[in-house]
Structure 1
């Protein structure tokens, strides 16, 4: 195995283990620092214009990817330092442990009937308006977010790291963060955030479908059914408003024998989504199963990414 490829694979494995063991730093998280800087730049750059929004997203994400490229070139002949760089970048962009922790905490709050706290906690997983949501709707929202973020926060960054190294890791996370910041179709961001949202769609096209395949494969290990996951994914994955989120959400619904989809409110705008899966509405125990499935899919994605890095 060539040294460069083995260092990439080993660095990503180390970064994944660091995320699984330590989770996100409590202060000074690199993604939060980037988000703060991008938010400040947006206040100066904003205009109700698609070209202005495209320039903003290009500068923000391009700068981060460029810094990653320069850093990787600076250590290309120093395998030990390069290993540390890749491990640190992987740890910084992954969110598997944090996602699982939020899912388990939501399940605990729902099981204990603490609905006001659960409504407040939902904001840690998604931007959905939780005002007035009952236990069933809160559970569905959390389960859908676990599924979608399994792809966004674990599968996609690992795959981009495998094919593009540190620039891929950092550039992907920058694009995904910008989508979360300005990609929603609110009046302020309908035009300005269009480019960021479309770029996020593009960079997730392959990872979302890989995530769905891995969900099918991992379903039996989470007490689910691979055939049902495959059927729900192939039938329902394309009916979601997002070209990517529905892929993994549908696969999760089939794997866990639950039903997802329905009416959601984001920033005052109502979305009515098609049904995903044929099962019952999810309960708190299903949310815990979704967390387990998410962790299994993440581990499988790591194996795939390491294999790609070696083969590359």
Structure 2
């Protein structure tokens, strides 16, 4: 297919389009976002295949079938859009548009920056309201440092999940790979929980999400390490934190970008956290770092993320030119 010969050029165009436009609220107030469509499909499948009257074995099998169906359908949609590009040049624009929609550079920046702005404009309560939009922990239990650390952790982890992973899977497998990635990542966020309701049904989606995020999480950490000295951070500190602490994170993937960000900024991230109804006692990423994070540290984290986005875009552009 001719499209695959131009995949990296299309990907670079999508990265730039997302950086400029992002996810405008006015548009998605009128249209249904593809991730919402994926979420609705997951809900339908969950209601049908995860009934509490079913045995644990049957619910687990239903979860495996759900994950397989999501990968198959999403890949088929991506392949169909690719096919349109083979038939008509306008199809290339559709590929770029789909890819830009599913990459989250600008929207991630805006959500994290909203926490910083909330702290600066309205104090702790403003920060708590904004951070509740991007993390699951109990905002009432967070002081200013806790709000700031939560925002920075979300920035680092979602840089991997929302930016690097979609770009990586498009580069590897085109639009089918990107949409399949988003489908599994969405399923993990909806059903990949270790609760009585989802432990069996969400098992396959959670394990598959861990697998497909593995390469992007490592790349995310390396990108942060690479840009750190250019933006007032410490590459050595980032590498040290990744080497010593990334594997201690409860997630097999989130520890890489979080540890890199923590070491680059000289902060201690993760650690004990309070969620509604329960507490986790995780180790710190870069445990010797400063715990008293502030709104200024959120700005520094956003600068690191932007620098890493630019570096990633340049790598894609180099690939488009020379490969």
TM-score, scaled relative to structure 2: 0.89
Query: Which shifted more, 23-32 or 252-261?
Result: 23-32
Query: CA offset at residue 154 of structure 1?
Result: 0.5
Query: CA offset at residue 303 of structure 1?
Result: 2.9
SS in 1 for 2:279: strand
**Residue 36 in 1 paired to residue 28 in 2?**
no
* Structure 2 match to 1:46: 50
Contact 1:89 1:169 in 2 (8 A): no
In 2, distance between residues paired with 1:54 and 1:170?
18
* Structure 2 match to 1:152: 161
Equivalent runs, 1:112-123 vs 2, <5 Å: 112-123=121-132
Equivalent runs, 1:217-236 vs 2, <5 Å: 217-236=226-245
Query: CA offset at residue 121 of structure 1?
Result: 2.3
Distance 1:187 1:25, change over 3 A: farther
SS in 2 for 1:271: strand
* Structure 2 match to 1:25: 24
One of 174, 189, 192 as aligned partner of 1:180: 189
Contact 1:5 1:309 in 2 (8 A): no
Query: CA offset at residue 13 of structure 1?
Result: 1.5
Once the two structures are superposed, residues 246-266 of structure 1 have per-residue CA deviations (whole angstroms, 9 ceiling, x without a partner) of 001000001111111212244
Equivalent runs, 1:285-300 vs 2, <5 Å: 285-300=296-311
* Structure 2 match to 1:248: 257
Contact 1:109 1:118 in 2 (8 A): yes
* Structure 2 match to 1:7: 6
Once the two structures are superposed, residues 192-229 of structure 1 have per-residue CA deviations (whole angstroms, 9 ceiling, x without a partner) of 11111111100011111011111100112221011111
* Structure 1 match to 2:78: 68
Contact 1:163 1:309 in 2 (8 A): no
SS in 2 for 1:270: strand
**Paired positions, count:** 310
SS in 2 for 1:24: coil
Query: CA offset at residue 306 of structure 1?
Result: 4.4
Query: Which shifted more, 3-12 or 217-226?
Result: 3-12
**Residue 108 in 1 paired to residue 117 in 2?**
yes
* Structure 2 match to 1:209: 218
SS in 1 for 2:280: strand
**Residue 270 in 1 paired to residue 268 in 2?**
no
- Say which structure, 1 or 2, has more relative contact order (CA 8 Å, 6+ apart): 1
* Structure 2 match to 1:302: 313
Once the two structures are superposed, residues 83-133 of structure 1 have per-residue CA deviations (whole angstroms, 9 ceiling, x without a partner) of 313311211111110111111110111233533343232232222232322
Once the two structures are superposed, residues 4-53 of structure 1 have per-residue CA deviations (whole angstroms, 9 ceiling, x without a partner) of 45521221122111211111132122212322332233223324522211
SS in 1 for 2:138: coil
C-alpha RMSD of the superposition: 2.1
